[in-house]
Amino acid sequence: MFRSQLTARLLTAFEKAGISLPEGTRPTVVLAADTRYGDYQSNTCMGLAKQLKTNPRALAQQVADALDVSDLCAKVSIDGPGFLNFTLGDAALSAHVLTARRTDQLGVPTATPRTIVVDFSAPNIAKPMHVGHIRSTIIGDCLARVARFLGHHVITDNHIGDWGTQFGMILHGWKTLLDEAALEKDPIAELLRLYKTVNAAAKADEAVMTTCREELVQLQQGDAENLAIWRRCVDLSLDQLRVIYAKLGVRFDHYLGESSYNDALAPLVENLLASHIAEISEGAVCIFFRDDPTLADKPCLIRKSDGGFLYATTDLATIDHRINVWHATDIWYVVGSPQELHFKQIFAASHKRGQTASFQHVAFGSILGPDGKMFRTRSGESVGLIEVLDEAIERAAAVVAEREGLSDEEKATIGETIGIGAVKYAELSQNRLTDYKFSWDKMLSLQGNTAPYLINAYVRTRAIFRKLEGTPEGAGEIEAPAQLVFTEPAERALAMKLAQYAEAVHDVLDDFRPNLLANYLYELATTYHAFYEACPVLSSQGDIRATRLILCDLTSQVLKSGLGLLGIQTTERM
């Protein structure tokens, strides 16, 4: 990719010019903020001049003199206080486009492979998924796809909440209030009803609460009846979850829920006590982080004074499995921001144990209700995920219904692809850390910066090749000129955008930000639409036509690939 090539050349130029870079500084190249000055720019000299106590423009000149980029750039200039601006040569740009369209990676270099476990979605058993689960599910799926595309070994793991204190209430409810017919009809709704009813009763009556605790203890001690009920709840819930994941096009390599680690918890705690990593405090087993100022007064509890285990215990056992069995080098947790402290503790505990994997809490903001406060899983109502998806499909289908020349079957597929795509894109195009208020209209919008806008750009590329069906060009076998010819600004602008796919994909994993890829694809679609208006393809001639066909072909591939990385499908018509 051009950015890293230019960065490398710049580094060489600094060496050649005998300018020693202070420890820790490296020259950087970024996309030009203002394309009047060039395609890429480096701001390095201005910052560096201060440290070296020299004139920034003179420094830039010194670097420029030592710089060899004649094969890449048509022009290098020094502007303003000391900006180094690069304008790519048409030959280099053309060569990139011609090569990229013939490879699966579309010009995106692969990374040094690592073994990455992505932990995301992780809904609770016996409760319907609500919109609050969408961020983890969609962001996690996207990050996993991008990492795979870059050549990493990726393991996706759905760490289902299938164990815990809420089962005391469900067990009690199951035994006293279960409506078999309702369970048959809508298992999750019935389980939720049981939970809510018992929860309310337990709040009002201490005796009910005690009964629930007893049911839970029996489950944890392996009582056959309770285990059988629990197993049934888990299976019913998993059936429902798989329906939603199928609709979303999300798949997991593993569904290792919390219960998978039950047998590992007691030995783990004993081991941590024996190695003095954990200690007993006020009857509970804790790990203290006395040498970490931010965690000094925030110990991590791994066993309650009554002997029960906690969230953190399971997470530590899970880490062991991922590192020891899967040989993970990286573990990414796509979990909301409120759990930041928990992950700080878990990661610190793991480091205390000498584990060297790289941990990342990929946090995201909360989805807020109309009151500006978080949707609460436990008490408050929320909006069901399945309702959101169905409504999205319905709205998209209503637009498709007005189209002519499409079969009912095609219309159904298109409505589903666009509806689901719209929901995913609404999520992924946003900075993950920002909280936002849930809005049907925003999440389901079909105009402007949305999935259908991007899909429409793709459809436009396909329409052109459809006209060529039966010819080699229709199959993408365009007789390429030795070099692309740019006669209109829109052609070169499109070629530039296409070349930036490499940077956009890599930037996603830099800071775990799918919205950078979404933004890029939106810009690509906009650039293509402008090209489409300005540059007739089929009616043009010779090298101009071949150039435009090649640009359409690569645009088509990049849009499909990029949307695919977001987990969004494309359609040939809409």
What is the nearest approach in angstroms of RNA to the Cβ of residue 299? 5
What is the nearest approach in angstroms of RNA to the Cβ of residue 135? 12
What is the nearest approach in angstroms of RNA to the Cβ of residue 100? 21
Q: Which of 60, 219, 229, 464 binds RNA (CB under 7 A)?
A: 464
The one segment of 180-188, 202-210, 305-313, 325-333 that binds RNA by CB under 7 A: 305-313
- Site for RNA contains 547 (CB under 7 A): no
The one segment of 108-116, 132-140, 180-188, 306-314 that binds RNA by CB under 7 A: 306-314
Query: For residues 179 and 533, what is the distance between their CA atoms, to the nearest angstrom?
Result: 61
The torsion region of residue 370 among left (phi > 0), alpha (psi -120 to 50) and beta comes to alpha
Tokens 């070169």 found at: 492
**Closer residue to RNA, CB minimum distance, 95 or 227:** 227
What is the nearest approach in angstroms of RNA to the Cβ of residue 52? 12
**Closer residue to RNA, CB minimum distance, 29 or 250:** 29
Stretch (H or E) spanning 31: strand 30-31
The one segment of 42-50, 126-134, 204-212, 268-276 that binds RNA by CB under 7 A: 42-50
Q: Which of 203, 466, 471, 475 binds RNA (CB under 7 A)?
A: 466
- Token pair in block for residue 302: 């791994």
**To the nearest 5 percent, what fractions of the chain are helix, strand and coil?**
55, 10, 35
Other Cβ atoms less than 10 A from the Cβ of 30: the count is 13
Which residues 152-211 are close enough to bind RNA by CB under 7 A?
A: 161, 163-166
Decide: 399 and 446 in contact? Cβ < 8 Å. yes
The one segment of 109-117, 225-233, 440-448, 492-500 that binds RNA by CB under 7 A: 440-448
Q: Which of 76, 459, 505, 550 binds RNA (CB under 7 A)?
A: 459
- Site for RNA contains 20 (CB under 7 A): no
Stretch (H or E) spanning 286: strand 284-287
Query: For residues 568 and 560, what is the distance between their CA atoms, to the nearest angstrom?
Result: 9
Q: Which of 437, 477, 482, 487 binds RNA (CB under 7 A)?
A: 437
Which residues 478-517 are close enough to bind RNA by CB under 7 A?
A: 511, 513, 515-516
Which residues 242-301 are close enough to bind RNA by CB under 7 A?
A: 258, 281-284, 286, 294, 297-299, 301
Furthest-apart CA pair in the chain: how many Å? 86
φ, ψ of residue 474 to 5 degrees: the values are -65, -25
Other Cβ atoms less than 10 A from the Cβ of 409: the count is 8
- Site for RNA contains 412 (CB under 7 A): no
What is the nearest approach in angstroms of RNA to the Cβ of residue 327? 26
Query: For residues 246 and 17, what is the distance between their CA atoms, to the nearest angstrom?
Result: 58
CA atoms within 13 A on the CB side of 27: 28
- Site for RNA contains 559 (CB under 7 A): no
Decide: 109 and 1 in contact? Cβ < 8 Å. yes
- Site for RNA contains 414 (CB under 7 A): yes
Q: Which of 83, 120, 289, 501 binds RNA (CB under 7 A)?
A: 83
Q: Which amino acid is at 344?
A: K
The one segment of 197-205, 236-244, 302-310, 494-502 that binds RNA by CB under 7 A: 302-310
φ, ψ of residue 255 to 5 degrees: the values are -120, 65
Decide: 494 and 500 in contact? Cβ < 8 Å. no
What is the nearest approach in angstroms of RNA to the Cβ of residue 304? 3
Pairing of the two strands 279-281 and 284-287: antiparallel
Binding mask 349-388 for RNA (x = CB under 7 A): ----------------xx-----xxx--------------
Q: Which of 16, 71, 80, 488 binds RNA (CB under 7 A)?
A: 80
Decide: 349 and 278 in contact? Cβ < 8 Å. no
Q: Which of 204, 206, 533, 542 binds RNA (CB under 7 A)?
A: 533
Counting residues that bind RNA (by CB under 7 A) gives: 103
Q: Which of 89, 249, 308, 481 binds RNA (CB under 7 A)?
A: 308
Helix (H, G, I), strand (E, B) or coil at 117: strand
Query: For residues 85 and 83, what is the distance between their CA atoms, to the nearest angstrom?
Result: 6
Those residues with Cβ within 8 angstroms of residue 80's Cβ, 6 or more apart along the chain or in another chain: none
**Closer residue to RNA, CB minimum distance, 79 or 90:** 79
Q: Which of 110, 305, 471, 487 binds RNA (CB under 7 A)?
A: 305
* HEC per residue, 478-537: CCCCCCCCCCCHHHHHHHHHHHCHHHHHHHHHHCCCHHHHHHHHHHHHHHHHHHHHHCCC
**Closer residue to RNA, CB minimum distance, 41 or 547:** 41
The one segment of 15-23, 260-268, 304-312, 553-561 that binds RNA by CB under 7 A: 304-312
Decide: 28 and 47 in contact? Cβ < 8 Å. no
- Site for RNA contains 88 (CB under 7 A): no
Q: Which of 12, 79, 87, 321 binds RNA (CB under 7 A)?
A: 79
- Site for RNA contains 404 (CB under 7 A): no
What is the nearest approach in angstroms of RNA to the Cβ of residue 312? 8
Stretch (H or E) spanning 105: none
